[in-house]
Structure 1
């Protein structure tokens, strides 16, 4: 499809695209067999819906006019306000968010208040007595000025209007106030607050995941308007904290050491900075600002010691080591601190040194860095809860927290039921699949296998090679078994042209060098580029070889490759490997029977492009790592099982995809959608899509309108840039997995069956959304996908749409199970993840051609990804 010159009328259409609104629900589904379910929503009744919340702005400053923004101090001040100024608040209780907002039910007597709060802080005197021991604790007071001024009214009635299906202006504000009341109750009990979750300092909820990191279980709680009324959504939650206890034990665990003498102190300094510790000798808490330059027995400081009892005598100043001071003057026993640096818990210009041996990490300090593969696996293993246990834990929490007793909720007449909400669900029939030799079969319980079956469209592999970076793998056995298994599945594989083992001398070189040396051997031993390379990696997870290897194969040479690191070679493992290989080489493992017979409602009769969109961000704490935007599009209409991907970098942490449409100075479009539209045209018998179904992952409800009015606008402009005047019809669906609604069978202890759909009671009162659990939950509790239909110009009925999404969970070519979310989104996630490895393991000598692209949002230059080689760009390389 040649890129035509853009007509003037298309340019005019691009300039003024209409603003779109999120659609309302058009109906409910009816297909499938009924099933009685429970949801972790607790019905809420509002006895006084006419009450009004009054919002007040809060400003806190110390005596020297320094603004106080610490949430912990803010909450202490708010508590003191409540105790000291009851008359100024007319006896009203208030909800405080810990920052700048305070809420009351009804108004305060005055719109503006300026109040003084004195906090008593228990401290130890810094000057030692003659004996060298510190004197008893004394009390130091600190004064704060609190300004409170009226800001707004928030009527509780907005919740009532929203539940009736109206669009209420202050709905989110009202729900926010109610959620702040819940969080304040948790904060008053000393919980760690993480957004809408809270965590107790209770070792029974702690689970060690390795590396000095502990998982702590808590609860998520939030008020939500639903089709069945206002509800309290309560769920089990978890977060990561640093393992509390002796600092030295933490460092050993963090650095995976057994001997204290092997601690990397530079690494320890970075890890400990800004953490809170408690000193054993005086039971005080301190904040760590760094480590001493010298060991404890060599780090001197000045100590004033009085002579006799004369108060007028300033005494003499001694130079003493920290070690000697604590041993001789404080009478403490230190067994291993002498050779270690001290913790500096003072000010930048006034150090205050403490031996590590005396210090323990305070509990409930969040760990915000990315978890390793081992830590993630441990977390998943320890977080699993079967449905009955999860039901018990959540219902016990609602009963134990006694939210009904909160004075603010009581004044609004709010009461909360203590039982899970009963919900009517439906179980959709699994779609019929087609495999090789024209065979049809129905998956059972969301699963199937290829035992004694052929793949629907198996590929033929004539020239391939096996390369081995692992000294542990028997490559001859692997290739022989792979060929035999492939023959059983219909894949004809010749013997590998050659098997190339890595030179042992290269194993200590950098990943980039190891890959280059391997390719030198490949080029020397093969007569030409192979169709396919099977690469055995040295590690199963996070292998440093993976990124450079994939980049070399996919961008420089255009060779399809499959990486593996087999621990056990059996038929199931080899079958799973062949499913990926067959998909990458253009084969098809299975098809929907409806897809094969061209009888998919509304899709088979009209050229329909299905796209999945996802953005992958850097790990927590990596604010300078570019985000990766990946979009996959279906190929070969009327099929909906084959996809290709287009990937771009964009500004760090930006969620909206910037490169869907990317006009250049020469008038051409270098955007993602142009690639996908042209590929659809070339693989679909020169048909242009008249319908486009968009699946978007990773956005929150506050970003829905941006999906409709920023990303969709770019897609329309990309389509118009190809010279098209008639814009396709769109259906736009957002998929969410990170939500807190769980579904349980009402009469059985097992997970809900695959195909379970809920579109009543716990869904939004007005917007078009539903929950679907397509997968079979084998371990733990299944989490349903939450789908939000933002636009439906194509006109799918609820049953047609729900059955389509259910079917799209069965076309994931690398699996023989229904997956938890539609395949296009999973493919987009895989593509972003794989291409992201190009940047993660980029050799320092190799930048992406030194090119930078300019972000359309922030003007921040980000490195461009190298484009995929034309030989593989249209393949399912990500599978």
Structure 2
């Protein structure tokens, strides 16, 4: 035990896995080939006034280097993170000193404080010997604060130069080269993410492609036309229907602009707001040519339009448009504003923009690998003077990694199926000739068509229902009631009333509690779908299945089979399971698999809360799950009510299986490395507290694993036979050497077969383990579970308990009564306080309503 404590507080890697076929792959990691044991000097930087954005801080720092570099830094070339940290390979001449920097070239950062002189205080805080980092990488030392700071210094070092040359967001820098337009005055830029990562015996640079949305630069008028979805500038004059100027103001507020009517001025300004008055209406006073009795010039009233004509000889083209307020007091016409290039769009993209963004970023593996090489060319590590100062040499070749390909498990469907037990090939299979393992009976159900009989004729609806019934029956469900009652409803009307009516008619038709409402939707829009789910989940307590109207026109058996998989588990059935001996950890003792996630509101949303979800398996086959939800303070990652939620699921497990779980396996989604310690401490304690609340002596063995999908590791097959049709590595690829943590128990698993783009493996990190898994047991168990996602006949990219928890948290967002699911509703008042969220009806507690 003492050995483990010395190296890590988490679980130490038991040994490297051996199962599966050994293969080699390329990974987007580049080895730091030379990392000298130098001393790095760490300085704290305070720039006042404070709270300036990093881009302004960097400009001030740049000016500091130009002004004082030679005299004060003695040839040192420190690197700066744009906020507080400065690292130097040479010690500076002073321990603490304050410098004055005068800037006239940049926008005044805050109109309330038009400060042109900035104070830059640099103070030495630590010295770090990189020899400590070497000891950590070779498993001779535990992680210390010094080592963490050493890794941070390398991060700042590799990002310093790109940050001087390019637009930077977080760990990525972006270039307008090859940019593409997005709907609504935005454009997407390609960027490159880089991060220094400790690995086994060495440091690596993880380099990947990224993309983000920027505001389109240039004429503000052009941007307004796009925001308002108009064809040309002439449409700006229309009054019916009225133009949505508040939407424009929301979009342009805070944008940096330059003014085009004065040639010399390169000074930037920030847009404060839109002014309702136009240049023709807005009046102000100016000095006239005449003087009063005291000899002072008298003042006359003029309009902005007249002022521009007199002072600049410029006749305004759009004198009737609202003006723009910039800085503290200035008001200017919209047409003289030009938006500065390289400003990131911080808000959530709409559906069309998101789809375009995905198209832009979706690259097959060989294309992505080449793009990463482009990034390497732009970064040009060999000729980076800052890296040379620190003595670093970085490889220009992608790392070659030892990996293994795990064999797929045997999947079981109903014994009467043609292929009742089979081994899938390449992570995908189909339902032809197969029946679900346990089909349910659907006796009482109703159909709601959101639209009128012109849009969806009764014959069309009935034709789809017939095909669905035939397919569900062939797939192993029992549907005695083949013609459920159909209700037509206005998609913009009283949705709750329509669903209630359909529910009553379904119940009356066969004199029993309805099990399902099938809803036919006119579009893919969120508001209608969200309201249907709120009402069925929290008001009526009945499962619902939504389908789009386009699928009813020519119902395809393949589509109906996919719908059948969802309906069957929503009613408590089981679609498939693994053959008898495939999951010994689950079958040898009563074991509950749990998945947990927290869904946070969108960036910039200050009103909505976060939603925590916990799911738990309810059988020895890990095919049925129950879910628990809580609303909690926004943006907190730790699950606040985990004890209560776990008690709920442990009770349900006991009621369902008649036994208490002797083991708990928790897969926790969405935790970053910086949060490992906090989440483990709080949530492990909460799980144990739940067990003790049920019985003082109840101590099941717990294993706690974090699943990460938000990382930048990608794998590329080196030989064609190691790849699948999409050019990705095959399903079952596992990596637990070379690029993983020096001593902790983590591994990458690419469990799914790629469809589009480059597959992203899941990164599993074992934080706590009473069950003493070996590497092979943990990796094979996790991979096999990925074949049990109830909604499709493919392996999935992360383990189903974590996937289900993610679905539950996303669905619970729709349970709020006050929600306005439109683009403009991100800051509505009254939205999303905990009291507005309906509770799930108990009728759904034991079925997978969230599928």
Residues 512 and 843 of structure 1 are in contact (CA less than 8 Å); yes or no, is this contact kept in structure 2?
A: no
The aligned runs of 1:322-721 (5 Å cut-off) are 322-335=304-317, 337-347=318-328, 350=329, 352-437=330-415, 439-471=420-452, 472-473=455-456, 474-496=460-482, 498-503=484-489, 506-509=490-493, 511-512=495-496, 515=499, 527-542=511-526, 544-568=527-551, 569-593=555-579, 597-598=580-581, 600-636=583-619, 638-661=620-643, 671-684=644-657, 686-721=658-693
Secondary structure of 1:689's aligned partner: coil
Query: CA separation of 1:603/1:494 partners in 2, compared to 1, >3 Å: closer, same or farther?
Result: closer
Partner of 1:177: 153
Deviation at 1:558, TM superposition (A): 2.3
Residues 241 and 365 of structure 1 are in contact (CA less than 8 Å); yes or no, is this contact kept in structure 2?
A: yes
Q: Partners of 1:122 and 1:459 in 2: how far apart?
A: 68
Deviation at 1:526, TM superposition (A): 6.7
Deviation at 1:71, TM superposition (A): 2.6
| CA deviations over 1:704-730 (Å, ceiling 9, x no partner) | 112321011111111111114141111
Query: CA separation of 1:68/1:787 partners in 2, compared to 1, >3 Å: closer, same or farther?
Result: closer
Q: Partners of 1:232 and 1:318 in 2: how far apart?
A: 65
Partner of 1:160: 134
Query: CA separation of 1:627/1:122 partners in 2, compared to 1, >3 Å: closer, same or farther?
Result: closer
Q: Partners of 1:840 and 1:209 in 2: how far apart?
A: 32
| CA deviations over 1:446-472 (Å, ceiling 9, x no partner) | 101101221221112122111111343
Partner of 2:729: 752
Residues 463 and 530 of structure 1 are in contact (CA less than 8 Å); yes or no, is this contact kept in structure 2?
A: yes
Q: Partners of 2:717 and 2:809 in 1: how far apart?
A: 36
Deviation at 1:156, TM superposition (A): 1.9
Instruction: Select between 824-833 and 355-364 the one with higher mean Cα deviation.
Output: 355-364
Deviation at 1:143, TM superposition (A): 3.0
Q: Partners of 1:487 and 1:39 in 2: how far apart?
A: 46
The one of 787, 791, 795 aligned to 2:764: 787
Secondary structure of 1:110's aligned partner: coil
* Structure 2 residue 275 is matched with structure 1 residue 275: no
Partner of 1:17: none
Residues 306 and 314 of structure 1 are in contact (CA less than 8 Å); yes or no, is this contact kept in structure 2?
A: no
| CA deviations over 1:833-853 (Å, ceiling 9, x no partner) | 112101276489xxxxxxx9x
Q: Partners of 1:774 and 1:843 in 2: how far apart?
A: 37
Partner of 1:847: none
Partner of 1:217: 190
Secondary structure of 1:339's aligned partner: coil
The one of 787, 796, 808 aligned to 1:810: 787
Residues 43 and 123 of structure 2 are in contact (CA less than 8 Å); yes or no, is this contact kept in structure 1?
A: yes
Q: Partners of 2:301 and 2:563 in 1: how far apart?
A: 69
Residues 292 and 299 of structure 1 are in contact (CA less than 8 Å); yes or no, is this contact kept in structure 2?
A: no
Partner of 2:79: 95
Partner of 2:216: 243
The aligned runs of 1:292-331 (5 Å cut-off) are 292-306=275-289, 315-331=297-313
Partner of 2:824: none
Q: Partners of 1:789 and 1:164 in 2: how far apart?
A: 20
Q: Partners of 1:108 and 1:843 in 2: how far apart?
A: 56
| CA deviations over 1:782-821 (Å, ceiling 9, x no partner) | 1111111112211221111111111111100011111100
Residues 706 and 765 of structure 2 are in contact (CA less than 8 Å); yes or no, is this contact kept in structure 1?
A: yes
| CA deviations over 1:78-129 (Å, ceiling 9, x no partner) | 22222222222122111122223222113212212222323343899xxxxx
RMSD over aligned Cα atoms: 2.6
Secondary structure of 1:87's aligned partner: helix
Report the TM-score, using the length of structure 2 for normalisation: 0.89
The aligned runs of 1:848-867 (5 Å cut-off) are 862-863=834-835, 865-867=837-839
The structure carrying a bigger helix percent of its residues is: 2
Residues 276 and 362 of structure 1 are in contact (CA less than 8 Å); yes or no, is this contact kept in structure 2?
A: yes
How many residues align structurally?
800
Residues 446 and 505 of structure 2 are in contact (CA less than 8 Å); yes or no, is this contact kept in structure 1?
A: no
Partner of 1:136: none
Instruction: Select between 576-585 and 378-387 the one with higher mean Cα deviation.
Output: 378-387
Report the TM-score, using the length of structure 1 for normalisation: 0.87
4+ long deviations beyond 6 Å: 523-526
* Structure 2 residue 1 is matched with structure 1 residue 29: no
Query: CA separation of 1:787/1:210 partners in 2, compared to 1, >3 Å: closer, same or farther?
Result: same
Residues 665 and 702 of structure 2 are in contact (CA less than 8 Å); yes or no, is this contact kept in structure 1?
A: yes
Partner of 1:855: none
In structure 1, stretches of 5+ residues that fail to align are 1-19, 125-139, 662-670, 845-851, 853-859
Partner of 1:199: 174
Deviation at 1:212, TM superposition (A): 2.5
Instruction: Select between 223-232 and 557-566 the one with higher mean Cα deviation.
Output: 557-566
